[in-house]
Amino acid sequence: MNVALLFPGQGSQYVGMGKSLAENFLVSKQVFERVDEALGENLSKLIWDGSEEVLKQTQNAQPALMATSMAAIEAARVVGFDFRNVRYVAGHSLGEYSALCCSGAMSLEDTAIILSKRGKAMQRAVKSGEGAMAAILGISLEEVKEAISNILDHGVCEVANDNEPKQIVISGHKKKVEKALEVLKAIGARRAILLPVSAPFHCSLMAPAVTELEGSILDLKLSNLNIPIVSNVTAKEMLDPKEVKISLIKQITYPVRWRESISYLSAKGINRFIEFGAGKVLSGLVKRILEDPIISNIGEFSDLEKLKEE
């Protein structure tokens, strides 16, 4: 069995995530405690007992989702999951940082700190209310690209996520994104809806975040990866820490090429995918990209039973 581990991005968070892992495994509880200490705040209290509104704020959601993923990884080690079968790791947007932490390239503390910085920088990049993101369902990437390229209004509207064959996310100035929704519905999109996000991620409007974060990313202490990571930016594997840093910088403004990443993993012989962390978003996407994939998600104590299928 050739396994790839997947790590979710923003939007998968929910209040209470990972609590059952912390209650049942000391190593999982210690993940949350170490993240709290690294950030100098009680993030775990927010994750388990806070409000959905505060948790979904970018600077909170990013380290919180990573902590939950890593708590699940540590629980899997305790129950005897054989990581020797893991051939690749991949993460969706911030999930790439979780994947790097899992691969041994970054410490848990460094990962939490850079994600907190990343969340704040991305939130500051565009004034509140000026940007938007929208999900387009039912038409192809090429159709979306052509349609938005023909909108003559001033402003930015770009593809942010190529999630699966018929699910594309666009990002940019709110007025132009709203205009794009009208155009895309007119050409046959099954659904075209604004997303409840706080900023227009993965588009050129995030350039100020690149300026703010570039130095911090280049200064990251990255060890050699024990497991190759498939990049959001190139949809190909990386092992070289220098290449990884460049990719993390580009990732802020470049689209997430998730559909291509999963197809790449399948072509490399991966026949089992395991999503570690909150929710089942990536599991759903994989099912719509590949025919009959073997996939499971591990985010809570009750999910660990699924690892026995390995």
- Catalytic site residue 93? yes
Which residue in 28, 69, 103, 202 is the catalytic one? 202
Give the three-class secondary structure for 223.
coil
In this structure, the number of other CB atoms found within 10 A of the CB of residue 211 comes to 12
Which residue in 12, 93, 231, 261 is the catalytic one? 93
> How far is 184 from 149, CA to CA, in rounded Å?
12
> How far is 151 from 250, CA to CA, in rounded Å?
25
Which tokens belong to 261? Answer: 């990443």
Residue 256 per-residue DSSP state: B
Q: CA torsion, points 149, 153, 155, 160, in degrees to nearest 10?
A: -30
> How far is 118 from 62, CA to CA, in rounded Å?
8
Which of these, 233, 287, 225, lies nearest to 258 by C-alpha position? 233
Cβ(157)–Cβ(151) below 8 Å = yes
Give the number of residues written for the chain. 310
In this structure, the number of other CB atoms found within 10 A of the CB of residue 234 comes to 16
Tokens 């026995």 -> residue = 308
Q: Could you list the beta-strand ranges (E) of the chain.
A: 3-7, 86-91, 131-137, 157-164, 167-173, 191-194, 229-230, 237-238, 272-276, 295-298
- Catalytic site residue 28? no
The residues assigned a catalytic role are 93, 202
